Each structure stands twice: as structure tokens, then as C-alpha cells.
Amino acid sequence: MVAVKKITNVFRDHRAACTTLREILILKHLDHPNVLRLHEIYIPSTRKSTDIYIVTDLMETDLGSVIKSRQEISTEQLLVIFFQIALGVDYIHKCGLMHRDLKPRNILLSRNCDVRICDFGLARPEVTDGPLTEYICTRWYRAPEGMLSLYITYSVTILQSFWFSHTLPQLIFGLWVAY
């Protein structure tokens, strides 16, 4: 089964067009069981249409919804989920990318605890020539240097481990941070 994501008015401004194009190009090249798979892209043939359709794996929910629902999560399920997230993040880093918007809403889940990382619109190559845009992910999941707009060359693994330190307690203790 697949999901169809409709992106409306994709060319409304430069930022939206770049974000959409970046996500499509990245998803097209990534191939890992814990990263959302791009199946197809449909662009309407009419010149007036500014919408595009992206066909991806179908996932039932996201980690943010699971946390917010306060449903019981067993230790085994928790370990399986976080192991898959770690595998996906490791793969993304090995591909030389920084996700930059890793948050519970961008971790998709199936009923079988299959995990897919999604939303690569803010992703960038690990090696850059200078500072990146200040907007990166939701504030609760931002590493300190991202919040302070500092250009520090830490390992991407260190920066995204900051995300793990915020999300794991939410799952274990059922805490929910609105974002």
C-alpha cells in the first residue's frame, strides 16, 4: 500500500519550491528500510497546475501521535523503535546528510513498529561552506548551537544525539511537548 502526499501551490515562493525539490531529490537517492521510500512523483500536465503528488510508503501514524496519545509502549517496542531510528539516522549520516528537522512527527510508524524517517525538506549536506539557514526544526528538538545560530563544526552524530536525549524521556514517561 502507498500514500499520496499532495503538495499544493509548490511554486508560491522560492523557499517552498527549493524545499520541495530538495526533499524529492534526497528521497530519490536514499534507499534504506528506515527511511521513507519515494515510489513515484506525479506532476499534472496542465500549465496552470501548481500542485505535485508524491507517492511514498503508507505508514499508520507518527511517533508524535503515539507520544501524545499516552498509549502503553512496552520496553521491547521502545527498543525496536529507537534501534530503527538509530539505524536510519546512521544511514543518513553515512550518505553525508544532516536531517535538520528530526522530531517525533517526522518519525513514521506502522502497527508492527516499523520505522521510517521522513521530511527531508530542510536536510543539507554534512559539509558546507558556511552558516546554514537559522530555521532548523522545532525549538524543543534543536541542539543549542542551532538555537543560538552558531556556526560550530560538531559532528552531525553529536548534534542529532541531542534529539534522542529529548525524545526518549517523552516515550518512557509519556511526557508531551507541544510543537
58 φ/ψ sector (left φ>0, alpha ψ -120 to 50, else beta): beta
Q: What are the respective helix, strand and coil percentages of the chain, to the nearest 5?
A: 40, 15, 45
What confidence tier does 178 reach under pLDDT thresholds 50, 70, 90?
very low
Considering the entire predicted model, what is its pTM? 0.76
CATH annotation of 2-57: 3.30.200.20
Task: Sketch the domain layout of the chain as residue ranges.
Answer: 2-57, 61-173
Is 95 exposed, middle or buried (CB count within 10 Å of its CB: 0-12, 13-18, 19+)? middle
How far apart CA 175 and CA 178 sit, in angstroms, is 10
Catalytic entry in 31, 101, 119, 129? 101
Task: Give the pLDDT confidence of 103-155 residue by residue, as tens digits.
Answer: 889 999 999 999 999 998 888 887 655 555 555 545 554 544 444 444 444 45
**CATH superfamily membership of 61-173:** Transferase(Phosphotransferase) domain 1 (1.10.510.10)
Q: Is 101 assigned a catalytic role?
A: yes
